[in-house]
Amino acid sequence: MDLESLNKLFLKISTYSAKLLPVVKNRSSDEIKFLYDFGIRDFGENRIDDYEKHKNFFPDVNYHFIAPIQSRKLKFISQNFDTIHTLQRKKEIDLLSKLQPKNTFFLQINIDNDINKSGLNVDSLFYMFEYCLESSILPSGLMTIPNINSDPRKVFSNLSKLNETLKKDYPQYKGELSMGMSDDYQIALDYGATIVRIGTKLFK
């Protein structure tokens, strides 16, 4: 993506009061330098190996962990990533509560009930939200990745409605929405996304 296109994308997302989160997995530091030079200070990482390479070149970036969590790596993730988008299990919450973390957290919702995707099913959301509060882990929002065959409008609309219910029930809840990627970010913005996770589009 050239600088003019990046500026247009950034301004469009900003008009929705949302944040662009570049997904930089499998990218070299040379490839993502243009994002840093543009002024972006949030990167989404799927792999710890990539994070460790990028951190050497861009130490002042806020790193977001956006992949399924392996419990044995959760302590490292909590200590090195500002935001974790993929909380979904009681075990993860139990481990985090012992660490007394300062991270920002999202609960990942498998809103399609897709057996190939991670995340809580919708029926478990409110129970898990309460469990988080009891464990002093307050989520800042919800995250989802639609099934490739799903209508993103329906997915994002349903998540937005769930989010509004949580906001009404829990005044301390910020109600952010991490949803939308390269092919559907515009739809996600229309349904209230506060963070759009864009990778492929940025590197064409």
pLDDT above 90 coverage of the chain, percent = 90
**How many domains is the chain built from?**
1
CB atoms within 10 A of CB 134: 10
Q: Which one-letter DSSP state was computed for residue 150?
A: S
pLDDT of residue 101: 87
Q: What's the whole-model pTM score?
A: 0.95
CB atoms within 10 A of CB 187: 18
Question: Which residue positions in the chain have pLDDT lower than 50?
Answer: none
pLDDT of residue 3: 86
Give pLDDT tens digits for 60-118. Answer: 999 999 999 999 999 999 999 999 999 999 999 999 999 988 899 999 999 888 777 88
**95 lies in which domain range?**
3-203
pLDDT of residue 76: 97
pLDDT of residue 68: 94
pLDDT of residue 118: 86
CATH code, 70: 3.20.20.10
pLDDT of residue 114: 78
CB-CB contact of 22 with 199 (8 Å): yes
* Displacement of CA 121 from its chain's centroid (Å): 17
Instruction: Please give the order of strands across the beta sheet that includes 62-65.
Output: 19-22, 195-198, 176-178, 141-143, 104-108, 83-87, 62-65, 42-45
pLDDT of residue 113: 82
